[in-house]
Amino acid sequence: MSARVPGHVLVVGVDGVRFDFLAADSAPSVWALGQAGFLAPVPVDEATPTWSGPCWATIATGTGVAGHGITGNDLTGHRLAEHPDFVTLATRAGLPTLLAVSGWPPLALPEDGGPLFAEATRREFTAVPETGLAWDAARRADREAGLDAWDTADEATTAAAAAILAAAAPRLSFVYLGAVDFAGHATGAGTAYRAALRAADQRVGRLVAVVRSRSSGPEENWTIVVVTDHGHLDEGGHGGREPEVTTAWAAAAGRGIRPGAPPLITRQEQVAPLVLAAAG
């Protein structure tokens, strides 16, 4: 099938999910996408600091740090005007688009040098109250409040995106879920992190189900992509070059993606071109 035929694309970005934690029982929705298409490790290259800012910028723009100029979580000084994100490019091409972001402002709002995603037809942002205390939470109560707050925000973002996908089917949607990364920072890659991963996977499953249950779904030619930006240390945290941190991943299924064929994404720069081609 030609990549030029118009299609619909749903991209779910789940922040900070370790590749080695993905399995049929721990993340069945992502695993099923891998069975229907591919699920592959995507190394963060040597030039890219393993922070959310630069990794998501590379995923969103299809260019590396030398292009977009983002090296940390403050995006100030970026060159996104020359290297726009895939939602903006689709929006400028006249396609209806959706940006639904949970918790981390610079992806969607003019904060900390953002927004990384500049233009979208529909834009939903769910704030997480008192994020600041919890990133480095020393007290157990703070950690638990933070986990609850991020879970609530991811849930609200998922519900908003599901409603829009069911009603309107934007041609290109990006949904960002942040609770897994928060759990890694707050508690390490342990029980709470695994629970957050399971919750994120269930949310991916809900969004996939909404798309697949659309009555005009087959003609809409859906491609679904799920992607993370970096992993986490056992004790929580990232930013270095440890394998569990530098091994990001992507899963995709849909039009033109043959199950069992070599993965179409093995570098973070390959996400945006695949997404834009699938949207037509």
CB closer to Zn ion out of 121 and 126: 126
For residues 261 and 280, what is the distance between their CA atoms, to the nearest angstrom?
A: 22
Minimum CB–partner distance for residue 73 and Zn ion (Å) = 8
CB closer to Zn ion out of 98 and 179: 179
CB closer to Zn ion out of 42 and 169: 42
CB closer to Zn ion out of 154 and 229: 229
Binding site for Zn ion (CB under 5 A): 15-16, 52, 181, 229
Virtual torsion, Cα 55, 60, 63, 67, nearest 10 deg: -80
Residue 155's CB: how many other CB atoms inside 10 A? 16
- Nearest residue to Zn ion by CB is 52
CA angle 104/107/112 to nearest 5° reads 80
What 3-state class would DSSP assign to 120?
Answer: coil
Residue 37: φ, ψ to 5°: -145, -100
Minimum CB–partner distance for residue 52 and Zn ion (Å) = 3
Closest CA to 29 of 197, 246, 260, 265: 197
Minimum CB–partner distance for residue 172 and Zn ion (Å) = 22
Minimum CB–partner distance for residue 46 and Zn ion (Å) = 18
CB closer to Zn ion out of 223 and 246: 246
Is there a contact between 246 and 231 (Cβ–Cβ < 8 Å)? yes
Minimum CB–partner distance for residue 70 and Zn ion (Å) = 12
What 3-state class would DSSP assign to 177?
Answer: strand
